[in-house]
Amino acid sequence: MTIDARHAGQRLDNFLLNVFRGAPRSLIYRILRKGEVRVNKGRATAKQRLVAGDVVRLPPVRLDATADAGKPPEERIQRLKACVLHEDDCLLVLNKPAGLAVHRGSGVNWGVIDLLRASRGEAQMLELVHRLDRDTSGCLLLAKSREALLALQAQMGANGEAEKRYWAVVHGHFDRRITGKTPLRVEAPLQKNQLQGGERMVRVDRGGKPASTTFRRLHCRERASLIEARLHTGRTHQVRVHAAYVGHPIVGDDKYGDTALNKSLRQSGPRFKGMALHAASLVIRHPISDTEQRFDAPLPETWRALLAYLDLPWPKTST
């Protein structure tokens, strides 16, 4: 395949995920490691950016029969369309439901991007500007043109001007070292590891990439606290790892959380499923008008019983 202007500047791994739709990420990284994908006849890495005119050699890939599941159910498409917070000619903002992956892969037939494309036709470009974990709900930004994608990704980068705030329910009385609503700034570099099967784990490591999060507690009780997290960088699993690093893992986080506490809460509490992490607000500069725009995503109703059980109030809005 010869790369045209539409795909110029895209990372190779993301390009391959789009070409081999339905393929698990582990398969994509495996064929890259083995050198089965070539760019201009040379070996290539997952992070390599494609340039217009590049010639990409693709190996034959056999997918499971379940990988091509046909058109997604109309009910799922309509449910996701109801979650759109804003849409114009160059971008779309979605209040992503918890439990829905952003793209399909191993064990996931339909992701956000697949459902939205199915409702609009393959001819219209629609690309993820950033990602949210499957169990994280809230503001998710998508671009409808290559120019908008690059401009928005620049804002979402480590030194970008996009403002991302999350709400989370964490175990314990949040950090007794601070008083009132004084913010707690966490500067802890993060190292990402790719484990067998494509699972990603992130840990605090001096050799990792700089990562900065400001936590502000909203309401505290002995068992749990409702906090706000503002991201100053956009590292993988940043809020989850930094929260655990300061001793207050997110409720329901099966990867970085407290297994015993999660189990206890699920058995004796409101049987809350998933993870109590929500992308509450997003502030960007519009790629066309250059005006500041803010989007707020209401909390999912599934949080209501959890907050009531923990004697935490329902938050009004992020600030």
pLDDT digits (tens, 9 = 90+) for 158-197: 667 899 999 999 999 998 777 656 789 999 999 988 665 5
End position of a domain, from candidates 64, 87, 115: 64
- Told to judge if 133 belongs to the known catalytic residues of this protein, a careful annotator would answer yes
- C-alpha distance from residue 220 to each of 15, 248, 278 (Å): 44, 12, 18
- Count of domains for the chain: 2
166 and 292 in a single domain? The answer is yes
End position of a domain, from candidates 47, 64, 81: 64
The type of residue at 309 is Y
In a domain, 87, yes or no: no
Q: Is 9 a residue whose pLDDT tops 90?
A: no
Tell me which of 13, 54, 114, 133 is the catalytic residue.
133
Q: Is 123 a residue whose pLDDT tops 70?
A: no
Residue % of the chain over a pLDDT of 90: 50
Cα angle vertex 191, ends 189, 192, to 5°?
140
Q: What CATH number should be reported for the domain holding residue 19? A: 3.10.290.10
- Could you tell me the residue range of the domain that residue 252 belongs to? 161-309
Place of tokens 């001793």: 247
Q: What CATH number should be reported for the domain holding residue 222? A: 3.30.2350.10
End position of a domain, from candidates 64, 85, 109: 64
Q: How many Å apart are CA 254 and CA 114, to the nearest integer?
A: 26
In a domain, 6, yes or no: yes
47 and 174 in a single domain? The answer is no
Give backbone dihedrals phi and psi of 43, rounded to 5 degrees, phi first: -65, 155
How does DSSP assign 16-81, residue by residue? HHHHTTT--HHHHHHHHHTT-SEETTEE--TTPBP-TT-BEE----PPPGGG---SPPHHHHHHHH
